[in-house]
Amino acid sequence: MLSGIIALVFVVVVAPIWIVAHYATRWRTARMLSREHERTLADIWDLTQRMETRMETLERILDADAPGWRARAGDATAAGPGRGPGGGPGGGR
C-alpha cells in the first residue's frame, strides 16, 4: 500500500515538476544564440552596411557624372537615393 502511495505521489507531483523544469531549461538554451551565430550575424550586418555605403557612393557618382540616369533607366528611385516606393534603396524591389 505504501509503495502505491509513493508511486502515485511521484506520478502526480514529482514527475510533472521534473518534466517542466527539464523542458524550461531546454527552451532557455535554445532561445539563445551561440557565439558563432552572433559573430556571423555581426559579420553580415557589417557587410550590409558596407554594401549600402558603396551603393550610395555609386549613386552620388552617377548623379554627378550622368544627371538623369535614374529617369533614363526607368528606376523607381528617381526621387533620390533611398526614397523609392519601397522605402529603401531600389524602391519596391
What pLDDT digit, counting tens, does each position of 72-84 carry? 877 655 555 555 4
Q: How confident is the model at residue 92 (pLDDT cuts 50, 70, 90)?
A: very low
Reported as a pLDDT band with limits 50, 70 and 90, residue 35 is: confident
Query: What are the backbone dihedrals phi and psi of residue 68, each rounded to the nearest 5 degrees, phi first?
Result: 85, 5
Domain layout of the chain by residue ranges: 2-28+39-71
Whole-number percent of the chain with pLDDT over 70: 80
Mean pLDDT estimate for the chain: 81
First to last CA, the chain: 73
Per-residue model confidence (pLDDT) at position 40: 94
Dihedral sign for Cα 16, 22, 28, 32, please. Answer: negative
